Structures are given as C-alpha cells and as structure tokens.
Amino acid sequence: MGPIDKLPLDYTHDGAGIIRVIPPEMSPVSSPKTKYLRDRLVPPLLRVALWCSYRLPLEWTRGLGRWLGRLLYRADGRSRRVTERNIALAYPELDPTAQRELVRSSLEETGALAAEMGHVWHAPWPHTAGLIASAEGSDQVRQALDQGHGVIILAPHLGNWEVLGLHLATLGDTVALFEPPKIPGLGPIIQRARERSGSRLVPTDPRGLAALVRCVRKGGISGILPDQVPDAAAGGHNVPFMGVTCGTASLACNLIRRSNASAFMGVAFRCKGGFRVHYVPAPEGVYHDDEVAALVAMNDAVADLVRGHDTQYQWSYKRFRCRPEDGTDHYRDLKAPRSRFQIRPEQKR
C-alpha cells in the first residue's frame, strides 16, 4: 500500500466507520446567540428523546416514528421533495401512484429509524444485542478473520446502520472513523453509544486512517459507507447507481485494495420486534484495479441489497448528486412551489 497520506480525506465520515453522523438538519445559524442556544439545548434534548424512546416498547416507538413520517409527507418539505425526486429517478418504471406510495412508506421508515434510536444508542448493550434476531453470513466473516484476513464491511444507508456498526464489534477487533458533529455536545453522546459494544473510534485524519488500515492489515474489521457522496471532486467518480450517474466515493475501494482486506456487504434490516443482520461477500469487481470499474461493482451490490427492502433505504438523502459536478443537478428546484415542482425531472439519465 502507498503512503497513508495518499488516501483521500475529503469524506464526511462521521461515525463508527460505517456511520455518518446524521443530526437533524439545522437552519442556518443567524447569530452567535442562536448558535450558543443550539449548542446548549440540542444535546440535553437528544438525551431526553433517547431516554423516552428506550422506555417505550420498540414497536410502539416505531409506530410513533412512522406517524411522524406521515407528517413529514404532509408537510411537503425538503425530506419529501428529495425522497420524491430520488424515487422518480431510481424507479422510472413505476406509475405515479406506486411512486407516491413508495415515498410515503419510505418517509414512514425514516421516522421509524429515528424513533428506534433510544433502543440502539441509549439502551444497555445486552438489550440492543437481544433485538438482533439473526446474523446471517456472520460465520463467513468470522471464517475470513480466522484465516488471517482483515475485513471491510460496505454498509449502505439501508435499514439501521447503527445496529450493524454495533454488531461488527462482536465479530472481532473493530476500528472505525469518527468525525464529531458540528454541535460539540453531541460528539460524546454518539461516541459513547457507538463504542459500547467494543469498537474503537478514530478521527478522520491521516493518523486515524493509518490506525484503521493497521487494524485491517492485522486481521481486524472496519466498516465504510459505500453510498455517501464525496464533498470534493477528488473524492470519487460519477458512476451509475440504479440507472442514474452520480457521485460515488472511492475511499472504500481504495482501502480494500490497499489493505488486502476481504470485503463484505452488510446491513441490519428492520423486522418485527428487532433487526435481522445480513452479511454477504462483496462481488469480485470491488477488488478491480480500475477504480471506476470497482465503484460500478460496489454500486451494483448496494442496489442488490436495496431490492426487496426499498422502503428501508434512506431516500431522503441526496444520493444522486454529481461529484465532480458535470452540469447535472437533480435537486435544483426543491424549493419551487408544489405547482411547479416536477417529481419526474426531464433530465438525461
């Protein structure tokens, strides 16, 4: 592997390696006083919300979250607009009625994801572990580790990726990237929650990446988001995902190639009463020396995981942004009045 400082660093990986910190989107901070109040109020409010979520039965809190998701749909805000646009792009074969139903269901599952976090972040680890009904494919991950191979898990925004991050640490020594969120008080809450099953979080800087690579080379585990759009043009390439050319980060494939790790796809699907963790070997194409070919294979593998669990994908994320920018902007009209908002954009796919 080349020098660690050659690895791209322009990724907003925020969390336990596979997890991006996703605090609720804040309005632009208009003054130091507003920022001060935000920084002081949000952390305790999050603690209260997590405590309340944990005190309710899991299916009750999911039901509440799905109700909030229906409110998101009715509010016709950014989350609904992005979800509508993404589903129109990814599922052009669906008629408008089917697309609307998928949008509603997706936003309901987004609400369930947020609402169940008390059982994932606040509860004692034995409680959260008890919610994992099955871990299909974990024996294959352990087999790779027993053979001395490091393992990199490619975990997209599907199901509850926080549960997957916690489960990874039960399989072996796990090091993951963590970039603290902009609200300082949230960092310790998130880090404590993600490390309680045994993971070690490292910063998203050259030293942190070096620690991650050392762990994998020594036979450990790390997880990476394969479907996070890079912030900078140098961070990836525009390649197809579900038929739409969009920015795809090259970090995961670079790390796989440079650390000689075994790659697996991973997801924790939401099911009644808990979660089903699923690991499957990544396709051979992700090991390709040609970076673009590797990214295409990775995106195809993500799409395979999404099929059949379409509502549990985070369609409210602007997945189809282009990096580097090529003149295509699928999200340029999100603030247009509903009468002028085109759910099916007339752009070349």
Question: pLDDT tier at 30 (50, 70, 90 boundaries)?
Answer: low
* Contact criterion met (CB below 8 Å) for 179 and 14: yes
Looking at residue 232, what is its pLDDT?
82
Task: State whether residue 86 is helix, strand or coil.
Answer: helix
User: In this structure, is the dihedral angle defined by the CA atoms of residues 123, 106, 83 and 78, taken in order, positive or negative?
Assistant: negative
Looking at residue 349, what is its pLDDT?
43
344 assigned to some structural domain: no
175 assigned to some structural domain: yes
Q: Is the pLDDT of residue 141 over 50?
A: yes
- CA distance linking residue 201 with residue 329, whole number of Å: 34
221 assigned to some structural domain: yes
Instruction: Name the residue range of residue 17's domain.
Output: 4-22+31-328
User: Tens digit of pLDDT for each residue in 234-245?
Assistant: 889 999 999 999
The arithmetic mean of pLDDT across residues 30-57, rounded, is 90
Looking at residue 12, what is its pLDDT?
40
Looking at residue 179, what is its pLDDT?
87
Strand pairing class (262-271; 274-281): antiparallel
Looking at residue 292, what is its pLDDT?
96
261 assigned to some structural domain: yes
Task: State whether residue 242 is helix, strand or coil.
Answer: coil
**Ramachandran angles phi, psi of 281, nearest 5°:** -55, 135
As for how many domains the chain has, the answer is: 1
Q: Is the pLDDT of residue 327 over 80?
A: no
Query: Residue 290 has what DSSP assignment?
Result: S
The arithmetic mean of pLDDT across residues 238-264, rounded, is 94
Ordered DSSP codes for 5-24: GGS-------SSSS----PP
Gap between the terminal Cα atoms of the chain: 36
Question: pLDDT tier at 346 (50, 70, 90 boundaries)?
Answer: low
Q: Residues 6 or more apart from 204 whose CB is under 8 A from it?
A: 9, 11, 13, 14, 177, 178, 179
Residues forming beta bridges with residue 263, ordered by sequence position:
152
Q: Judge if pTM exceeds 0.85.
A: yes
Percent of the chain with pLDDT over 70: 90
The CATH number linked to 315 is 3.40.1130
User: Tens digit of pLDDT for each residue in 164-206?
Assistant: 999 999 999 999 999 888 898 999 999 999 999 999 999 988 8
56 assigned to some structural domain: yes
347 assigned to some structural domain: no
186 assigned to some structural domain: yes
Q: Is the pLDDT of residue 48 over 70?
A: yes
- CA distance linking residue 102 with residue 113, whole number of Å: 16
Q: Residue 90: in which H helix or E strand, if any?
A: helix 78-90
Q: Is the pLDDT of residue 21 over 60?
A: no
Question: pLDDT tier at 104 (50, 70, 90 boundaries)?
Answer: very high
Distances (CA, A) of 59 to 62, 113, 127, 128, 308: 5, 11, 15, 14, 21
Q: Is the pLDDT of residue 310 over 70?
A: yes
Q: Is the pLDDT of residue 289 over 80?
A: yes
- CA distance linking residue 68 with residue 226, whole number of Å: 28
286 assigned to some structural domain: yes
